[in-house]
Structure 1
């Protein structure tokens, strides 16, 4: 073999390798993403509050006369009616005072009758000039004094009769009564001793406090003037998954509390079965907006670009474009989009990590559906479907 053969072999290998390096690699296929149009639904924003049920009226029952308690005429925890007898205080001392007052009244009546007779006789004698004018004036004055004594005696009878009536302590309102605080045989003092307490349960109130920020929102009209009375509210108890109690806002205080920066509000709720009890805690939601048409997408369809929230949409040419969006609250696992998307936009809901703006993608059609989840916790803003007659549109399927 000639000395040039190895050099020729190396040259051929180099040329072959160079030829292989010049062959172009096949382009990777476009990434596959799932797209869907935003779900459209008529919604209402609600603001959430924690509060406590209170009675519209709560009355401590105290005696109006002093005496020894004779009997109790109810069972602890009963529902009592207005005017029903609850306690009886020994009436005998007050009955004796009444009888004495009636005797004094009869005495005054007899004195008045006699004075009137004497005055009438004196008028006849004065006309016949049988008595002096001074004697007649004395008879008239005696009649007037007897009339005053009669009025005083009648007032004493009335006062004594009231005290006898007050020995029967009656319910000032209908409601649920507490237990008796005093047993029969004990001395009770007028206007001091608390015998029991009555609260009315239907309707019942729900008291809460709201932040100054929410109050300002209502004042500026963002809530549609919802700080006024008769705004609908919905309430759920601690062990209830849904807001089943309906009522209306009936009071907002006239000042913000300096220490907490909150303002007190109150709603009234019908409670015909007396299930709701004063002292119970609950979560209330207050309508925070007028009904509006919302666009909803999954939270997974959004990504953060610096301080902005971004959604990726796919145009007719299958090219990914970036849309800056403004988020709203969550509704059943979906995020409300305040602005940045249109109803017909094809939003990437799966595979967003594989997509880049300006990139062409392969499409797989999907749909956005509501998946019920427990309501938001206390203090968080949330939304709910329009109540009563409004019917939300069907779920939207991607083209």
Structure 2
């Protein structure tokens, strides 16, 4: 029935339907073409690219050291007696010669007076013996006395001289004992607590009164293994005072330069390490004996080290890599083995060659290896070409 109706439609009407269908098809086709070609592809992302640096770098290793006082004094009295006063503040700095304790001096003052009196008597006896010996010589010349009596008077003079010498020594000893009642600091440093206080008996050469440790300068002792020690011996010289950096950990790190002044003469066979010592200035007393510190010391020198900005090195699980830009301006992934740090730069031990260009900024715009990029040439950050040593990451 439908075919019959179509056949009955005018020819012009059927041609109009076909024209409309063709027009709709053309419009749809045009829309598809416009959707496929009307929007341009995005341009390659712009990234900062720098050539690797090739410089001579001194590599530092970080060691764990301990601060020690060059001088440690256990202060004991030289005379016995009761402590009259403690004249220092516990835990504070003292200077050599400061009086720290005072012992009751009255018994020693009395002994000194007695010794001086004995000396005065001995001198009087010496004067008398001298006069008698002189008269004996005169009488001997006149043959008025025997030689035996003359010799006795000469011997008495010698004995009087000896007694004077003994009395002088006794006075000196008594005055020293009196002086020792004032216990003074033999070295400058920080005093500990008073172990014998006022009213207590202090025994000569026995009672420990306090301890003093020198604080300026301090010594820093640290150990290096044989391989690092061998490299360090080529780079450091205790006689020249090679500088090393000492860092004190804490809420805020404090570092200060010290000078190497001693290397042990043998390797410890039990540990396989060699002991180094550096002298650390400590005028403000900030560093304290007994503290642990980190010591950065040169262990080797690389004449042709390859360095890149730390931001260029990316991490993929246990691998480290960079993006290297080729001649066709595509970013190729390159696995690397990073080494020590040199300021904001990293020493690359393997994976890069001189002349390689790496992406230092904009790596987040690279979505896959081989992606085209628009390189923007920049300089690698300065700081690797000077004589400042790179600081190794591993702690000892």
Aligned residues: 337
| Equivalent in the alignment of 1:16 | none
Candidates 94, 105, 110, aligned match of 1:96: 110
Which deviations, in whole Å up to 9, do the C-alpha atoms of 1:216-272 show, x marking residues without a partner?
2223x2xx2456651111122112666631111111222222222222222112222
Q: What is the TM-score with the length of structure 2 in the denominator? A: 0.73
1:369 deviates by 5.7
- Per the alignment, residue 170 of structure 1 pairs with 184
Q: 1:1-399 alignment to 2 at 5 Å?
A: 36-39=50-53, 43-219=57-233, 221=234, 224-226=235-237, 229-239=240-250, 244-289=255-300, 294-297=305-308, 298-300=312-314, 316=327, 328-331=339-342, 334-338=345-349, 341-347=352-358, 354-355=369-370, 362-365=372-375, 379=395
CA contact (8 A) 1:303 1:310 kept: no
Q: Distance in 1 between matches of 2:236 and 2:255?
A: 24
CA distance in 1, matches of 2:201, 2:57: 62
Alpha-carbon distance, 1:43 to partner: 4.1
1:139-185, Cα deviation, whole Å (9 max, x unpaired): 11111111111111111111111111111101112222122111111
The whole-number CA distance in structure 1 between the counterparts of 2:254 and 2:92 is 29
Alpha-carbon contact 1:247-1:269 (below 8 Å) kept: yes
Asked if structure 2 preserves the Cα contact closer than 8 Å seen for 1:105 and 1:150, the reply is yes
Give the 3 Å change call, closer, same or farther, for CA 226–152 of structure 1 in structure 2: closer
Tell me which structure has the larger Cα radius of gyration: 2
Question: In 2, are the aligned partners of 1:65 and 1:166 still within 8 Å (CA)?
Answer: yes
Report the secondary structure of 1:75's partner residue.
coil
RMSD: 3.6
Alpha-carbon distance change, 364 to 320 in structure 1, aligned in 2, over 3 angstroms: closer
With 276-285 and 145-154 compared, the bigger mean Cα shift is at 276-285
Gaps of at least 5 residues in structure 1 are 1-30, 356-360, 381-399
Task: Tell me the distance in 2 between the aligned counterparts of 1:227 and 1:340.
Answer: 37
Shift of residue 354, structure 1, vs aligned partner: 2.6
Q: Which moved more, 1:186-195 or 1:318-327?
A: 318-327
1:120 Cα shift?
0.3
Provide, for residues 73-92 of structure 1, a one-character-per-residue CA deviation record: whole Å limited to 9, x for no partner.
11212322221111111112
Structure richer in helix, relative to its length = 2
Task: Name the SS for the 2:258 alignment partner.
Answer: strand
Question: Unpaired segments of 5 or more residues in structure 2?
Answer: 1-43, 384-390
| CA–CA separation in structure 1 for the residues paired with 2:221 and 2:293 | 10
